[in-house]
């Protein structure tokens, strides 16, 4: 199961990388694929908020995956882990919409 946790951790590191890229960006960053970010009043604060969202998501995603190390293969607990990850993604979308409305012109 250690290989599964390593793959899970790689996804968390991708989230972390997106957060770092968002923090360093000079233009407003987007969240959803194929959509342009809305025009914001303060691009630096907006990017900082989006970056914090990605950093938080990376940390929570990694914490959700910790039980993978200790579970046996085909454990029914994996269903709960997947539901938790899906719930995290839904919360991320809701949080981004709140960030977008806060910084929109």
Q: What was the pLDDT predicted at 23?
A: 94
Q: What was the pLDDT predicted at 35?
A: 78
Q: What was the pLDDT predicted at 89?
A: 96
Residues in the chain: 105
Long-range contacts of 10-13 (CB under 8 A, 24+ apart): 11/61, 12/58, 12/59, 12/61, 12/62, 12/65, 13/58
DSSP assignment, residue 27?
S
Q: What was the pLDDT predicted at 73?
A: 84
Against a cut of 0.75, is the pTM above it? yes
Please identify every stretch of the chain with a pLDDT value under 70, giving residue numbers as ranges. none
Q: What was the pLDDT predicted at 40?
A: 82
């Amino acid at each position: 199961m250690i290989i599964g946790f390593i793959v899970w951790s790689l996804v968390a590191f991708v989230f972390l990388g997106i957060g770092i890229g968002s923090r360093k960006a000079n233009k407003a960053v987007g969240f959803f694929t194929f959509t342009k970010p809305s025009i914001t009043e303060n691009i630096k604060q907006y990017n900082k908020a989006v970056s914090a969202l990605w950093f938080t998501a990376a940390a929570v995603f990694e914490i959700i995956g910790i039980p993978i190390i200790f579970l046996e293969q085909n454990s029914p607990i994996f269903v709960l882990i997947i539901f938790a990850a899906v719930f995290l993604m839904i919360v991320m979308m809701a949080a981004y919409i709140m960030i977008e409305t806060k910084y929109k012109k």
